[in-house]
């Protein structure tokens, strides 16, 4: 052991001083991003889906020679959709200095805990999978959002249910944390704008499927619709229990639920469940960027299936790559942050993005989909048709 130490210590010192070592994730031929997200547990499909979509975009770029000759690499770390674990992983990324930025984090409670750490460290925070309003604060120069807000999604729900469908009694099931309460606030505000209040509300604890008490409380109010702000496993449990009890209002879900994961969990019980979306229909290749996404997913895995979460991951990856290209060959984290801040308005394969001073959100569109027989999806139009 002593002889080994004599050999390795000078080598370690030499390597530490070497200009070839990565600085902030940038090497001569590689640039590295970190993803801290749920890769295991009840929200795992969301983190895994974002990872797959981002990797598809990065591999697409790498097949074309990378960005300014650098291969773009994603390294993912599991936080189990728990804020404490997420902070620990993000602090590891910051202290390690081996990544140019964070990309594709998942969830409101986790990003609420980690975004301040990333911002304080000057670490890019690209494409968080959440519509929480705090991430849209104009002073957050390191944050780049892709998707529309939860406030926009909840307004779309109520516009459809109340304005288009004429429903009178709306209840809510929400996850009892920052994510769920953002949704609760959005629904409450949308109803108040129409002179209405919630007929009933219930909640459940994050990372559990303990929804029965909430179901029994909500069912007492006999609502026309139940809007839902949660992850796919507890939401699926709520809907399946409801149908077993012959309680069948209109069920409406937020995009974060993970549409394909929810449909898979529900099986035949999913038919008619509505989900709001913040990215284009991933099965429609008439939009060039969707065709590019489908091809990139197939190139990565012949068995890949299109979906809303992986499409959002792909778009997030494309945004990150666009800023890398703009930052130029002499890449630094500071230069990358400047490129992210200067994204502006642009077209990506027929999909328009608009960033600007005080506006770090690229897409604003929300549309509704419904799970069809067989587990597929169809677009919901005003009046309830498809």
One domain for residues 48 and 72 = yes
Residue 6 within any structural domain of the chain: no
> How large is the greatest C-alpha to C-alpha distance in the chain, in angstroms?
81
Q: Do the Cβ atoms of 259 and 283 come closer than 8 Å?
A: no
What average pLDDT does range 316-320 have in this prediction? 98
Helix/strand/coil (H, E, C) string of 14-74? HHHHCCCCCECCECCCEEEEEEEECCCCCCHHHHHHHHHHHHHHHHHHHHCCCECCEEEEE
pLDDT, tens only, 179-225: 999 999 999 999 999 999 999 999 999 999 999 999 999 999 999 99
**Torsion from C-alpha of 371, 377, 378, 382, nearest 10 degrees:** 50
Residue 342 within any structural domain of the chain: yes
pLDDT for 299 = 97
CA–CA gap between residue 40 and residue 38 (Å, rounded): 6
One domain for residues 249 and 182 = yes
Q: Is the pLDDT of residue 344 over 50?
A: yes
CA–CA gap between residue 79 and residue 41 (Å, rounded): 9
**CATH code for the domain of 269:** 3.40.50.2300
pLDDT, tens only, 347-371: 999 999 999 999 999 999 999 999 9
One domain for residues 250 and 139 = no
CA–CA gap between residue 265 and residue 371 (Å, rounded): 12
One domain for residues 194 and 244 = yes
One domain for residues 245 and 229 = yes
Q: Is the pLDDT of residue 230 over 60?
A: yes
Residue 141 within any structural domain of the chain: yes
138-160 in b/e form (b: 16+ CB < 10 A) is: eebebbbbbbbbbbbbbbbbbbb
Residue 232 within any structural domain of the chain: yes
Q: How sure is the predictor about 384, in pLDDT bands with cuts at 50, 70 and 90?
A: very low
One domain for residues 238 and 371 = yes
pLDDT for 14 = 34
One domain for residues 186 and 271 = yes
Q: How far is CA 324 from CA 124, 128, 372, in A?
A: 12, 18, 40
Is the entire prediction scored with pTM above 0.85?
yes
Q: How far is CA 17 from CA 8, 11, 13, in A?
A: 14, 10, 6
One domain for residues 271 and 312 = no
One domain for residues 26 and 134 = yes
CA–CA gap between residue 360 and residue 286 (Å, rounded): 28
Contacts of 38 (CB under 8 A, 6+ apart): 44, 46, 47, 78, 79, 80, 81, 106, 107, 110
Residue 308 within any structural domain of the chain: yes
What is the β-pairing status of strands 225-229 and 377-380? unpaired
One domain for residues 251 and 102 = no
Residue 272's domain comprises: 150-277+367-380
Which DSSP symbol is given to 6? H
The closest alpha carbon to 231, from 212, 254, 213, 214, belongs to 254
Q: Do the Cβ atoms of 132 and 109 come closer than 8 Å?
A: no
Tokens of 37: 């997200």
Residue 385 within any structural domain of the chain: no
pLDDT, tens only, 62-86: 999 999 999 999 999 999 999 999 9
CA–CA gap between residue 41 and residue 115 (Å, rounded): 22
Number of domains in the chain: 2
Residue 29 within any structural domain of the chain: yes
Residue 206 within any structural domain of the chain: yes
One domain for residues 375 and 248 = yes
Tokens of 27: 């090497």
One domain for residues 262 and 297 = no
């Amino acid at each position: 052991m002593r002889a080994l130490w004599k050999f390795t210590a000078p080598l370690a010192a030499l390597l530490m001083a070497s200009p070839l070592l990565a600085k902030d994730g940038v090497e001569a031929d590689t640039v590295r991003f970190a993803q801290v997200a749920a890769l295991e547990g009840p929200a795992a499909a969301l983190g895994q889906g974002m990872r797959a979509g981002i990797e598809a975009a990065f591999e697409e770029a790498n097949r074309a020679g990378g960005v300014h000759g650098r291969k773009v690499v994603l390294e993912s770390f599991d936080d189990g959709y728990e804020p404490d674990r997420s902070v620990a992983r993000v602090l590891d990324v910051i202290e390690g200095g081996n990544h140019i930025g964070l990309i594709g984090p998942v969830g409101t409670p986790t990003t609420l805990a980690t975004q301040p750490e990333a911002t304080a460290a000057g670490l890019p925070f690209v494409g968080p999978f959440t519509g929480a309003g705090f991430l849209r604060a104009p002073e957050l120069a390191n944050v780049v959002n892709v998707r529309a807000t939860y406030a926009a999604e909840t307004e779309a729900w109520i516009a459809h249910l109340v304005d288009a469908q004429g429903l009178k009694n709306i209840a809510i099931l929400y996850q009892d944390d920052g994510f769920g309460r953002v949704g609760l606030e959005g629904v409450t505000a949308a109803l108040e704008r129409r002179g209405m209040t919630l007929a009933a509300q219930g909640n459940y604890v994050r990372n559990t499927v303990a929804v029965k008490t909430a179901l029994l409380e909500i069912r007492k109010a006999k609502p026309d619709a139940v809007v839902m702000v949660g992850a796919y496993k507890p939401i699926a449990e709520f809907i399946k229990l409801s149908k077993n009890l012959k309680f069948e209002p209109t069920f409406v879900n937020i995009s974060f639920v993970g549409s394909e994961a929810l449909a898979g969990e529900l099986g035949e019980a999913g038919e008619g469940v509505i989900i709001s979306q913040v990215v284009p229909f991933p099965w429609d290749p008439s939009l060039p960027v969707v065709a590019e996404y489908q091809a990139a997913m197939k190139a990565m895995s012949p068995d890949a299936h299109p979906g809303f979460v992986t499409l959002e991951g792909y778009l997030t990856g494309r945004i990150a790559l666009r800023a890398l290209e703009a930052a130029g060959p002499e890449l630094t984290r500071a230069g990358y942050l400047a490129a992210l801040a200067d994204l502006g308005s642009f077209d990506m394969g027929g999909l328009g993005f608009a960033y600007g001073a005080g506006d770090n959100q690229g897409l604003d569109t929300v549309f509704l989909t419904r799970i069809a027989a067989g587990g597929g999806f169809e677009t919901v139009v005003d009046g309830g048709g498809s």
